[in-house]
Amino acid sequence: MWRSSVFSSLVCLCMYSSINTNRFLAESKLALPVHVIGFKEGGEPFDFTGYKTGAMLEKIAVWVGESQIKGMKIWLTNGEMKQFGYPYFWYPIEFTFQPGELFTSLSLWANKDETRLGAIMFKTNKNREFLARMNRWEVNVEFRVDVGSGVCLGVIGRSGWEIDALGFMFLDSIKSIVMKNVEYTTLHQVIPSVTVEEIKSMTYRNKLTVGQEYTLDTSKTITRKSSWSVTNSLESSFSVSVQAGIPEVVEVNSQLSFKLGNIATYELETIEEKTEPLSYVIKVPPGKTMNINITIGRVNMYLPYKATVIVTGTDGSTYHYIKTGTYNGITYTDAKAVITESKKQLE
C-alpha cells in the first residue's frame, strides 16, 4: 500500500517562500497559506496563479518517474499555460476541471528522501479523483492541504529537470462575490443603433364641418435585458451580484446617445419586463383625414466594460481583482407618435 499509514501525524515538508506566499497573505487574508511540499532548495522557484485576475486552475497534466514527479503542465481559465520540469515522452496523467468543479480535498507527498515531489492526489465536488505518483519509490508522509472554499488559483513551487517542490493556492471559505466600479469604456464614443418597431397605426376621418378630437389608447410590453459576460473563472463558479448603472438611450438635440443610469444591484443576467400605457390625442380638422403612426426604437448594446470584483470571506476578509468583459443589453427609446394629414380625399 503506497499511502502513508501515519495520517494523524502530518509532517509538513514545506517551505514558505517570502517571495511568493507571504506576498499573497499581505494582500489578502482570504488567500490561504501555500504549503510547498518537497525539497526547498532544489531547482528554480516558479509562481503561476490567477491571483491578479481571478483565473482558476483549469487543467493539470503530470509526468511521473520512478522516484519523483518529472514534469507537469498547468492551464488556467484565462487561457494561460506553463510547463514545469520535463515532459517526458510517455503520456501524462491529466485532469480537466468542469465548470463549477472545485476541490474538496488535496494531499501532497514528498519522495522517500525528501528531495523531490512524490505524489499528488485530490478529489472534487463532482465526485471525481486525480492521482499522480512516482511509480517505484515509496512516498514520504502524507500532507493534507486545507482547500478552504475549494477555489484553486494555481500553483507555486520549484523545478529544474523535475518537480522539486509544489504547493497549491486556495481561497478560504467565500461568503459573497460582488462586481463594483463598473465602467463602460466606450459608452460615450458609440452611437446607438436603433431598430424601429411599429406599435400601432390608425387613420381618423372627419366628415363634419367642425373639428373633432379622438383619443388613441394603446400599450407596449417591452423587455429590457442586461448581462455582464464572465469567463470560466472565479465569478463563473459562484453567485455574483453586480452593483452598476445600466446604460440608457437618450435623445438630445435630435441625436441619440448613451447615458449611465442610477447605480443599483443586479444579477449577472437581468430581465425586466414592463407594459407601458400610451395615450395620444388626435385633432382632426373638418373635412380632413389624419394618420397616426406610433413606433418605438429597440437598441442592442455590446459595450466593453471594466470592473472590480470583490470576494468576501466568511470571516470578513476580502480579495479583489480587476475584470474586463462585454456588457450585452437590450433597451428601448421613448415611444414616438407621428401625426400627418392624409393626401386622400374624403369620399
What is the fold of 176-341? Proaerolysin; Chain A, domain 3 (2.170.15)
DSSP state letters, 306-318: EEEEEEEETTS-E
Gap between the Cα atoms of 7 and 14, Å rounded: 17
Sign of CA dihedral 184, 188, 189, 191: positive
Q: Measure the CA–CA gap between 267 and 178, rounded to whole angstroms.
A: 10
pLDDT at 29 over 90: no
How far apart are alpha carbons 28 and 15 in whole angstroms?
20
- Give the class (CATH, top level) of 14-172: mainly beta
CA-CA distance, 317 to 289, in Å (whole number)? 71
Closest by CA position to 277, among listed 201, 215, 219: 219
Rounded mean pLDDT, 168-191: 95
- pLDDT score of 23: 46
Mean pLDDT of the 266-286 span: 95
C-alpha cell at 189: 464614443
User: Over 60: is that where the pLDDT of 10 sits?
Assistant: no
Q: Cα separation of 30 and 231, whole Å?
A: 21
Same fold, 14-172 and 176-341: no
In the DSSP assignment, the letter for residue 234 is G
118 and 111 Cβ atoms separated by less than 8 Å: yes
253 contacts: CB under 8 Å, gap ≥ 6: none
pLDDT band at 25 (very low <50, low <70, confident <90, very high): very low
The answer to whether 135 touches 92, Cβ cutoff 8 Å, is no
- Helix (H) or strand (E) holding 24, with range, is helix 21-27
Domain spans, the chain = 14-172, 176-341
- Contact call for residues 122 and 103 (beta carbons, < 8 A): yes
pLDDT digits (tens, 9 = 90+) for 107-146: 999 988 888 899 999 999 999 999 999 888 777 889 999 9
